[in-house]
Amino acid sequence: MLLVLLYHRINAVEYSNRLDIFLAHVKFIADHYPVVLPGDTLPSGKTAVCLTFDDAYFDFYHYVFPLLCELKIRALLGVPVKYIVESTTLDSISRLSIPYDEAMANEVSVKKVPFCTWDEISQMVASGFVEVASHSYSHRNLTDQDVDLREEIVRSKAILEENLPQRITTFVYPFGKVNKKVHSFVTRHYLYAMRIGSALNKDWYNSHGLIYRVNGDCLTNPLQPLKKINLSKYLFKYVMNTIRGR
């Protein structure tokens, strides 16, 4: 089976983990589980773990990337390309201080640079420890009536591939929101598509072409999502999601 964990920020107020808990959490995963990326062969008879980080906040580069290099494990970074600037001279403290609910507002992404820059993302991709996914162009709910799906899904991929030496094969749905129309459009342009779902996965496709993810934010214990009772719940949820076609 496959457990895909979803994270956002480190040492922030919302949608975040305390750094000490997160360090212990990831070190435990590295010591006890195969860590994989979309398309990797899954081990037989053992649960593999995929680490995914949404939004490409600067704290991923500041805190998570050095840890990946130290442990020699890989992670998937979902990038909303509208908010990425080429480079910056702003200091780390100011960039780390931007609240979650302000980062995508107005011109904050340009003036305060709370997200990774293209220079930083390129460095991480070149290391071999970070793979990039599209997290849309502007991080909108793609099920809204007035959304330009071509811009959010196709243009975002094109921009990523223009700026990075990597083929973009994974799409991560903003807010985990998806319907049949949106998913059908995504599968024409990407090999893999991730939502939330709070469930385990059989493989990289499941029966409906959707990869389920389990929330890894706000951990109170490093082993929280990895306890046997929780893994059993995620397996049950996978079965129910499959039956319901979700």
Is 90 exceeded by the pLDDT of residue 61?
A: yes
Prediction pTM value: 0.96
Which of the residue ranges 44-48, 58-62, 190-194, 205-209 would you say has the lowest mean pLDDT? 205-209
Taking the C-alpha atoms of residue 133 and residue 79, their distance in angstroms, rounded to an integer, is 6
**Within a 10 A sphere around the Cβ of 124, how many other Cβ atoms?**
24
Mean pLDDT on 203-214:
92
Q: What is the DSSP letter of 123?
A: H
Alpha-carbon dihedral of residues 133, 7, 124, 71, nearest 10 degrees? -130
Q: What is the pLDDT of residue 41?
A: 97
Taking the C-alpha atoms of residue 17 and residue 6, their distance in angstroms, rounded to an integer, is 11
Is 90 exceeded by the pLDDT of residue 119?
A: yes
Give the model's confidence band at 246: pLDDT under 50 very low, under 70 low, under 90 confident, else very high: low
Contact 54, 110 (CB under 8 A): no
Tally of residues, the chain = 246
Q: Is the dihedral of CA 61, 147, 189, 203 positive or negative?
A: positive
Q: What is the pLDDT of residue 97?
A: 95
Give domain 2-244's CATH superfamily: Glycoside hydrolase/deacetylase (3.20.20.370)
